[in-house]
């Protein structure tokens, strides 16, 4: 049996969850989305994800065709209907069915769908050993073209950088903005540690305001670590003591090599491991 998918205002069988080829989400990548975790049957930071979805939609003048409260219930119902204990939710709002022209305002009402499924994780070994990354030559979209805070369906900028990573046999690439400062990775936020201080680029550098990023900043401060949001260069990454990425799917993962420069001792450092542990405990509702 297939999954139950939430489509517009009800659950349908996977085989009946269909979107038109005239939907501008498909024709133009015109829409917004969220990726959300389920840990031990609890939907992680759902309200923060819903808030971000509405803010993304507002920025692109897309009306989410459902109230926030109803949307929260729809996400919960979809999770329950599929019996997902530990998994991943994809919540998508498209511009809706339009013509072949660009005009979004003649589209019918936006379409909304929710998928709750299992998640394909990075192998455990990668968390223990840390990952290699490269610097992408693809420059992050200029914030005056598409603000990075908008989690839009148009991910080509990130996909081009991801292709560079995969061509180099590594899973992730760091993207730099038009000024040469670190923006983010293709699907994760960037953190480094230098002399015991945790640094991450400000959102204005071209990063999505990651929900995992926000939690990791909070957890680091609870551990009495200094956290500084500041522009970082490629040189800063090469010469840091620790390097890690954060994201809903990846959680907290150490980086041990960028462009063949070894980070620290070549394995995830103590602050990375501490924050990964704290994040795990927080996500699973455990106290230390
Ligand atoms: N940056 C990009 C481009 C992403 O796609 C994601 C994953 N949604 C992130 C950062 C991390 O954000 P979050 O912690 O909210 O998943």
Query: What are 14-34's pLDDT values in tens digits?
Result: 999 999 999 999 999 999 999
User: Cβ(189) to ligand 1 under 6 A?
Assistant: yes
Kindly indicate the confidence band of residue 287, based on its pLDDT and cuts at 50, 70 and 90.
Answer: low
Q: Which atom of ligand 1 is nearest to the CA of 214?
A: 14
Rounded to whole angstroms, how far apart are CA atoms 57 and 61? 6
What proportion of the chain, given as a percentage, has pLDDT over 70? 99
Compute, in angstroms, the gap from residue 189 CA to the centroid of ligand 1: 6
Q: For 124-283, CATH number?
A: 3.20.10.10
Q: List, for residues 151-161, the tens digit of each pLDDT value.
A: 999 999 999 99
Q: Which atom of ligand 1 is nearest to the CA of 186?
A: 3
* CB neighbours of residue 106 within 10 Å: 12
Q: List, for residues 265-284, the tens digit of each pLDDT value.
A: 999 999 999 999 999 999 99
| Phi-psi region at 268: left, alpha or beta (left = phi > 0; alpha = psi -120 to 50) | beta
Q: What is the pLDDT of residue 32?
A: 98
At residue 71, does pLDDT exceed 80?
A: yes
Q: What is the pLDDT of residue 120?
A: 79
Give the mean pLDDT of 58-86.
97
Question: Whose Cα sits closest to atom 12 in ligand 1?
Answer: 210
Kindly indicate the confidence band of residue 286, based on its pLDDT and cuts at 50, 70 and 90.
Answer: confident
> Which tokens in the block code for residue 178?
């038009």
Do 189 and 208 meet the contact criterion of CB atoms below 8 Å apart?
Answer: yes
Rounded to whole angstroms, how far apart are CA atoms 111 and 65? 7
User: Cβ(79) to ligand 1 under 6 A?
Assistant: no
User: Cβ(210) to ligand 1 under 6 A?
Assistant: yes
Catalytic residues: 151
Q: List, for residues 197-211, the tens digit of each pLDDT value.
A: 999 999 999 999 999
Q: Where are the domains of the chain?
A: 4-117, 124-283
Give the mean pLDDT of 239-256.
97
At residue 172, does pLDDT exceed 70?
A: yes
Q: Which of 157, 161, 188 to mutate to test the pocket of ligand 1 (most atoms within 8 A of CB)?
A: 188
Kindly indicate the confidence band of residue 288, based on its pLDDT and cuts at 50, 70 and 90.
Answer: low
Report the CATH fold assignment for 4-117.
Answer: D-amino Acid Aminotransferase; Chain A, domain 1 (3.30.470)
Q: Which of 48, 141, 174, 210 to mutate to test the pocket of ligand 1 (most atoms within 8 A of CB)?
A: 210
């Amino acid at each position: 049996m297939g999954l139950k998918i939430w489509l517009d205002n009800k659950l349908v069988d996977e085989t009946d969850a269909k979107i038109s080829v005239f939907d501008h989400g498909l024709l133009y990548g015109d829409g917004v989305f969220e990726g959300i975790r389920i840990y031990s049957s609890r939907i992680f930071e759902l309200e923060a994800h819903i808030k971000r979805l509405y803010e993304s939609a507002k920025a692109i003048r897309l009306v989410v065709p459902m109230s926030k409260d109803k949307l929260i219930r729809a996400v919960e119902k979809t999770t329950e209907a599929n019996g997902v204990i530990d998994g991943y939710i994809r919540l998508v709002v498209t511009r809706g069915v339009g013509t072949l022209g660009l005009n979004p305002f003649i589209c019918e009402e936006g379409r909304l769908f929710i998928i709750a499924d299992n998640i394909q994780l990075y192998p455990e070994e990668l968390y223990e050993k840390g990952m290699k990354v490269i610097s992408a030559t693809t420059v992050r979209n200029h914030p005056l073209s598409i603000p990075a805070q908008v989690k839009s369906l148009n991910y080509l900028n990130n996909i081009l950088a991801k292709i560079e990573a995969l061509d180099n046999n590594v899973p992730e690439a760091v993207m730099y903005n038009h000024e040469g400062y670190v923006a983010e990775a293709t699907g994760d936020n960037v953190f480094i540690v230098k002399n015991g201080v945790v640094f991450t680029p400000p959102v204005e550098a071209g990063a999505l305001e990651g929900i995992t990023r926000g939690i990791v900043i909070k957890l680091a401060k609870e551990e009495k670590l200094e956290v500084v949001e500041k522009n970082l260069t490629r040189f800063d990454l090469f010469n840091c003591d620790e390097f890690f990425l954060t994201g809903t799917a990846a959680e907290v993962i150490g980086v041990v090599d960028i462009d063949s420069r070894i980070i620290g001792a070549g394995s995830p450092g103590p602050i990375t491991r501490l924050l990964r542990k704290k994040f795990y405990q927080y996500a699973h509702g455990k106290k230390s």
